Amino acid sequence: MRTVVLASETDFEGWKTAARGLRLEGVEPARARFVTGEAGQAALFGGEEAGGPQQEAGAFAVPRAFVETAGNLILHRAADRFDLMYRLLWRLRDEPDLMRVVSDPDVAAAAERVKNVSRASHKMKAFVRFRETTDADGERWVAWFEPAHRVLEKTAPFFARRFSTMRWSILTPDGTAHWDGQFLTFGPPGRQDEAPQEDEVEDFWRTYYASTFNPARLRTKMMQSEMPKRYWKNLPEAALIQELVASAVVRTDVMVSEPATLPNERFQRLRAPVIDRAATDEMVPSDLAELGRGVQGCRRCPLWRDATQGVCGQGPAQARLMIVGEQPGDQEDLAGAPFVGPAGRLLDAALVEAGIDRAETYLTNAVKHFKHEPRGKQRLHKTPNAGEVQACRWWLDHERKLVRPRLILALGATAGLAVLGRKPAVQAERGVVIDTPEGDRVLLTVHPAYLLRLPDPEARRRERAAFVADLRKAKDDTIRA
């Protein structure tokens, strides 16, 4: 019997070198033995023929599938895994396509064990629970975990990527992994009592688990397959499982007896009566309320899809002054009312300064749905394009006909485009009443959001004063007209 002593249970490089040499020497699987740890020491002193190959390894190619299989198979806890690996290697020389024969007992046994290893790695990613502690360098997160197979080194890079900014250690009975924010290192086996036993995050896990547990969908077997009992003792949320399972029937009965919850708002919108371009072309809203209902079902352009709701104008139907902005912003979209966000608050203050009563003014936007793009949890404003402005002009034109204001104050280029039907030069044309072919009188000025974006305080003060002066002109004009 030839015995090879490997440096560790997962010494794949050592196994590869020794196994290749033994195969070239012609040492049959029945005469080769790979051992580690105490078994290895016993073999060295037990009179067996110890040591690896006697001759230098020569050329010996094996398929990549075998190397990948063996690299995972060695992580399995089965004591005979080395024998299985060497048996496959032995046979590959005469059966180069062996790894493709899935019905072969050795190949099938290897595949099953690789699957076990992969599952153990997946469970480790799901069930490692870090607990907070501190050391000389500050905050550190430590987890105790008992993997089903020796997957620590295989799986630790996942945690380095996922928790790259934290300093953490994972302690297992097979070894330890440590991440210092830059380098991943491995050490000797750890002990459970070296990891903190409980911290404040435990409550978070328990609350999270309880809130995601749906008693009506309880399938105990499936749950135990996804969260095997062997992991429960290190999972804070596992303490809740028996209680949640025991109360599942009662909680399901209560859920069934309660009234149905409201359908998802977005889903409701998708099912709302559609008013496409052809349909709206036929429709002539008789008042602002009907126009408002029409906007909610409008599909003349794609902007309705990502908005919470259409935001119509607000104010008296016979207002002398109509103010037109660009489009609802984030807060307007949620509130369903125009000019309630930061730009709206600036406008309110400027109106007061100019002596204009907002309650007597009709405020609306060129485009009725909020155009934006998601950025993390934020929704960033996007300027509507000319096609969207043109599509929504249909609603603005009806508002103009219904309100018939003495003067329309257009805030910014998009509002100017919607009201005038052409792209205006706002700074050059501001402050002068423009007569439109439709018989409306229009005054141009900047949008209050422009003032908010100015970084220079002096420029902001100057532009704000000019904005208030334009509002005063609008007020004077509506009084005179």
**Residues contributing to the site for ligand SF4 (CB under 6 A):** 295, 298-301, 303-304, 310, 367-369, 388, 391-392, 395
Q: What is the smallest separation between the CB atom of 384 and ligand SF4, expressed in angstroms?
A: 7
Task: State the burial class of residue 385 (Cβ atoms within 10 Å of its Cβ: 0-12, 13-18, 19+).
Answer: middle
Q: What is the smallest separation between the CB atom of 294 and ligand SF4, expressed in angstroms?
A: 8
Q: What is the smallest separation between the CB atom of 223 and ligand SF4, expressed in angstroms?
A: 45
CB nearer to ligand SF4: pick between 196 and 421? 421
Task: State the burial class of residue 130 (Cβ atoms within 10 Å of its Cβ: 0-12, 13-18, 19+).
Answer: buried
Task: State the burial class of residue 47 (Cβ atoms within 10 Å of its Cβ: 0-12, 13-18, 19+).
Answer: exposed
Contacts with 308 (C-beta within 8 Å, 6 or more apart), sequence order:
265, 333, 334, 336, 370
| Distance in angstroms (rounded) separating the CA atoms of residues 4 and 225 | 38
Tell me the HSE value of 430 on the side-chain side, using a 13 A CA sphere: 19
CB nearer to ligand SF4: pick between 369 and 447? 369
Q: What is the β-pairing status of strands 361-365 and 321-325?
A: parallel
Give me 73's structure tokens: 């198979």
Strand ranges in 92-145 using DSSP code E only, listed in sequence order: 131-135, 138-144
CB nearer to ligand SF4: pick between 256 and 278? 278
CB nearer to ligand SF4: pick between 301 and 347? 301
Q: What is the smallest separation between the CB atom of 298 and ligand SF4, expressed in angstroms?
A: 3
Q: What is the smallest separation between the CB atom of 359 and ligand SF4, expressed in angstroms?
A: 25
Q: What is the smallest separation between the CB atom of 271 and ligand SF4, expressed in angstroms?
A: 16
| Distance in angstroms (rounded) separating the CA atoms of residues 241 and 212 | 12
CB nearer to ligand SF4: pick between 87 and 368? 368
| Distance in angstroms (rounded) separating the CA atoms of residues 432 and 238 | 72
Write the CA distances from 378 to 70, 78, 330, 439, integer angstroms. Answer: 47, 51, 9, 41
CB nearer to ligand SF4: pick between 299 and 441? 299
Instruction: Please report which helix (H) or strand (E) contains residue 187, including its range.
Output: strand 184-187
CB nearer to ligand SF4: pick between 399 and 440? 399
Using alpha carbons only, give the angle 325, 327, 332 rounded to the nearest 5 degrees.
105
| Distance in angstroms (rounded) separating the CA atoms of residues 419 and 436 | 9
Q: What is the smallest separation between the CB atom of 434 and ligand SF4, expressed in angstroms?
A: 24
Q: What is the smallest separation between the CB atom of 422 and ligand SF4, expressed in angstroms?
A: 19
Nearest of 114, 80, 87 to residue 29 by alpha carbon = 87
Amino acid at 454: L
| Distance in angstroms (rounded) separating the CA atoms of residues 126 and 134 | 24
CB nearer to ligand SF4: pick between 367 and 451? 367
Q: What is the smallest separation between the CB atom of 249 and ligand SF4, expressed in angstroms?
A: 47
Give me 270's structure tokens: 């998708």
CB nearer to ligand SF4: pick between 368 and 381? 368
Q: What is the smallest separation between the CB atom of 300 and ligand SF4, expressed in angstroms?
A: 4
Alpha-carbon torsion (370, 374, 379, 383), positive or negative: negative
| Distance in angstroms (rounded) separating the CA atoms of residues 217 and 208 | 17
CB nearer to ligand SF4: pick between 27 and 295? 295
Q: What is the smallest separation between the CB atom of 417 and ligand SF4, expressed in angstroms?
A: 14
Give me 275's structure tokens: 């008013």
CB nearer to ligand SF4: pick between 15 and 370? 370
Using DSSP, how many helices (H) and how many strands (E) does the chain show? 20, 15
CB 426 within 8 A of CB 416: yes
CB nearer to ligand SF4: pick between 209 and 370? 370
* Helix, strand, coil in percent for the chain, rounding step 5: 50, 15, 35
